[in-house]
Amino acid sequence: MPKKSKRGKKKPELNFIGGDMYVQGEISGLMRLGDKFFNKDTAFTIEERQLLGIHGLLPPVVRSIEEQVELCLMQFLEIESDLLKFSYMLDLLARNERLFYKFVATHLDKCLPIIYTPTVGQACLNAPTIYEQPVCLFITIEDKGHVYDVLKNWPQQDVRVICVTDGGRILGLGDLGAHGYSIPKGKVTLYTALGKVRPQYCLPVCLDVGCNKPQIRDDPLYMGLKRKRPSRTEYDEFVDEFMEAVVSRYGPNCLVQFEDIGNTDAFRLLTRYRFKYSMFNDDIQGAGVIALAGITSAVNITNIKLEDHRVLFQGAGEAALGIANLLLVALKTEGLNDNEARSRIWLRDSKGLVAYNRPQGHLTEYKLAFARRRLPIEKLEDCVREIKPTILIGVSAQYGAFTREVLELMALYNKTPVIFAMSNPPSKAECTAEAAFKYTRGKCIFASGSPSSPIEHEGKTYYTTQVNSLYGFPGVVMGATACAIAHLPPAVFVVASHTISDFCTDEDYRQYRLLPPLSKLCAIAFEIACNVVEYAYKNNLARRKPDPTDIRAFVKHQMYDCNYEPAIKTWLEEYNK
């Protein structure tokens, strides 16, 4: 008789003929090939095919994973549309998980712009036409009171990190409601592709609370709830229930990353939860990590001390305030007091310079921290004339906000102006690389939120930098989950930022690159993870005990390996659970 598992289910029998083992059970060979965690496609050996009952279901050729990757590349390059490439990657992930991550790791430069920015923005705008299979857990506000029951429907029981959005502010596209589901899916993909977090530990979630854009909500193809967003009280009760359900289902060590939440809600939720749960907001804190790393490199290139820079933000939302607050911490580390540090930071929003006495209306408490006591200034070019910033950071999602006049003024006041046009997707960027180099006469150091190719201007080649949070959050997530961090203080993000800038070389600086090349992303993520783990144990924030004697070995042991394991070994692990 087949023996029973601990859960009371019958286990398939293991039979032996001539010393060889074969599997007899209820799972058919076709079902095995349909399991993305188990499937190896044509990489199954002949012996594995016979043992697992899939012999004859595949063509007789046996290919290595490296050969499969090159076949994937051939197919990938034949696809002309980026959106169709995005769909191809989704299909590959749904069919063969290890091959997907091996392909991404091998051809990171080609895959990143497709699975992340800028193509993920197109995917959100075309959500109804590309949705084919479950890639995200949808929890609606109509599930209020039963959120835990919905969480239980996710097939993986050992979830250690969740990326959640409510679609309230997707990139620079605004409120897309449930159509923002591709964002958390893309983030958790990078947890594994770059940070090497095991994919079964990751859960993307879309909290559907409605959508306030009629053109989105009333579209016949809209897939979410066709209602407006709720009141603040109802919204907070729903998110509170979600966070409590996460702890009940997965335990207090489960890390939650909030992503692309509307500005007001994002700050409020971060304040509400940051010391109660293991959580962070990448749009606020992650933006600070990567921008501070870029600013640190700009300090090294311009030979101007950090405390001698003047930073003007075009935009005063999540990203701007996240960067400003982390920059404030860095300036204080340099020896400045609070008032001196704040005097180096200026914010401009849609109503002009953030100042106490401007006539345009009330300032939120988060903007008040950086408000100036001075006469209001409305236009950006007038702000540049008055402040004479050395660093101009765009996080406003207003295309073309850095006009010719603004860029020419930056070049007039600075030997080497630093220009960050960080808004995504490119259709929302404050300026293009071409405009930046043209109107600063090739003097500037330029960074953008999306990838940008080197620029030819007046016979010279100018390099750009992608200032994107993908440099930071995969390593932070890997480190935080590895040690089960209780909460993430600002120092964790400073640690991550310094780790990134430490990877820059003299050659990077000679080319005016503010960040290391994308080819180093996996190495950067590993070092960030190790440094976060070290910080957590030193400061009694790590819940996983005992303390590791070798932190690097401790982190490596928990990393995902995208190479195939022997199929029979994988099956036996499942059998013995």
Residues 292, 321: one domain?
yes
User: Does 247 reside within a domain?
Assistant: yes
Counting residues of the chain whose pLDDT is more than 70, the rounded percentage is: 93
Per-residue pLDDT averaged across 527-537, rounded? Answer: 98
CATH number of 382's domain: 3.40.50.720
User: Mind listing the pLDDT tens digit for each residue in 375-420?
Assistant: 889 999 999 999 999 999 999 999 999 999 999 999 999 999 999 9
CATH number of 258's domain: 3.40.50.10380
User: Does 254 reside within a domain?
Assistant: yes
- Token pair, residue 187, equals 């983030």
pLDDT of residue 57: 95
pLDDT of residue 3: 46
Report residue 133's pLDDT band, with 50, 70 and 90 as the boundaries: confident
- Token pair, residue 1, equals 């008789």
**Boundary (domain end) residue, out of 470, 494, 528:** 470
User: Average pLDDT over the chain, rounded to whole?
Assistant: 91
Going from the C-alpha of 515 to that of each of 132, 493, 532, the distances in angstroms are 36, 16, 20
Whether pLDDT at 574 is above 80: no
Residue 132 counted as an annotated binding residue: no
Residue 424 counted as an annotated binding residue: yes
* Contacts (Cβ under 8 Å, ≥6 apart) of 482: 529, 533, 544, 554, 555, 558
Annotated catalytic residue 116: yes
- Token pair, residue 334, equals 């340099």
Whether pLDDT at 468 is above 90: no
**Boundary (domain end) residue, out of 232, 266, 281:** 281
User: Does 107 reside within a domain?
Assistant: no
State the DSSP code for 363.
Answer: P
Residues 318, 461: one domain?
yes
User: Does 492 reside within a domain?
Assistant: no
Whether pLDDT at 120 is above 50: yes
Residues 358, 464: one domain?
yes
Cα torsion 431, 434, 439, 440: sign: positive
* Contacts (Cβ under 8 Å, ≥6 apart) of 334: 305, 306, 307
User: Does 94 reside within a domain?
Assistant: no
Task: Find the domain containing 367 and state its range.
Answer: 286-470
User: Does 68 reside within a domain?
Assistant: no
Short-list 149, 189, 175, CA closest to 266: 175
User: Does 509 reside within a domain?
Assistant: no
- Report which of residues 362 and 29 the model is more confident about: 29
Whether pLDDT at 36 is above 60: yes
pLDDT of residue 14: 47
- Determine which one of 85, 102, 185, 187 is catalytic: 187
Helix (H) or strand (E) holding 425: none
Residue 169 counted as an annotated binding residue: yes
User: Does 497 reside within a domain?
Assistant: no
Report residue 363's pLDDT band, with 50, 70 and 90 as the boundaries: confident
Whether pLDDT at 569 is above 70: no
Residue 283 counted as an annotated binding residue: yes
Residues 245, 264: one domain?
yes
Short-list 165, 314, 183, 178, CA closest to 239: 165
Whether pLDDT at 100 is above 70: yes
Residues 184, 262: one domain?
yes
Report residue 23's pLDDT band, with 50, 70 and 90 as the boundaries: very low
User: Mind listing the pLDDT tens digit for each residue in 182-209?
Assistant: 999 999 999 999 999 999 999 999 999 9
- 576: number of Cβ within 10 Å: 8
Residues 341, 391: one domain?
yes
Residue 513 counted as an annotated binding residue: no
- 423: number of Cβ within 10 Å: 26
Residues 317, 195: one domain?
no
Do residues 266 and 283 make contact, with C-beta atoms less than 8 angstroms apart?
yes
Whether pLDDT at 262 is above 50: yes
Annotated catalytic residue 564: no
Which residues of 402-554 form beta strands (DSSP E)?
A: 418-421, 445-448, 455-457, 460-462, 465-466
Residue 349 counted as an annotated binding residue: no
Domain tally, the chain:
2
Report residue 346's pLDDT band, with 50, 70 and 90 as the boundaries: very high
Burial class (CB in 10 A: 0-12, 13-18, 19+), 552: middle
Dihedral of CA atoms 469, 264, 202, 161 in degrees, nearest 10, equals 90
Do residues 455 and 516 make contact, with C-beta atoms less than 8 angstroms apart?
no
Residues 277, 335: one domain?
no
Counting residues of the chain whose pLDDT is more than 90, the rounded percentage is: 79
pLDDT of residue 182: 95
- Token pair, residue 224, equals 């979410």
**Boundary (domain end) residue, out of 470, 487, 511:** 470
* Contacts (Cβ under 8 Å, ≥6 apart) of 449: 117, 421, 422, 423, 424, 429, 466, 467, 468
pLDDT of residue 332: 94
User: Mind listing the pLDDT tens digit for each residue in 494-505?
Assistant: 999 999 999 999
- Report which of residues 76 and 29 the model is more confident about: 76
pLDDT of residue 251: 97
Residues 145, 263: one domain?
yes
Whether pLDDT at 9 is above 70: no
Residues 241, 257: one domain?
yes
Whether pLDDT at 18 is above 50: no
Per-residue pLDDT averaged across 207-223, rounded? Answer: 96
User: 11-25, 280-294, 461-475: lowest mean pLDDT where?
Assistant: 11-25
Cα torsion 564, 567, 570, 574: sign: positive
- Determine which one of 116, 273, 366, 439 is catalytic: 116
pLDDT of residue 20: 45
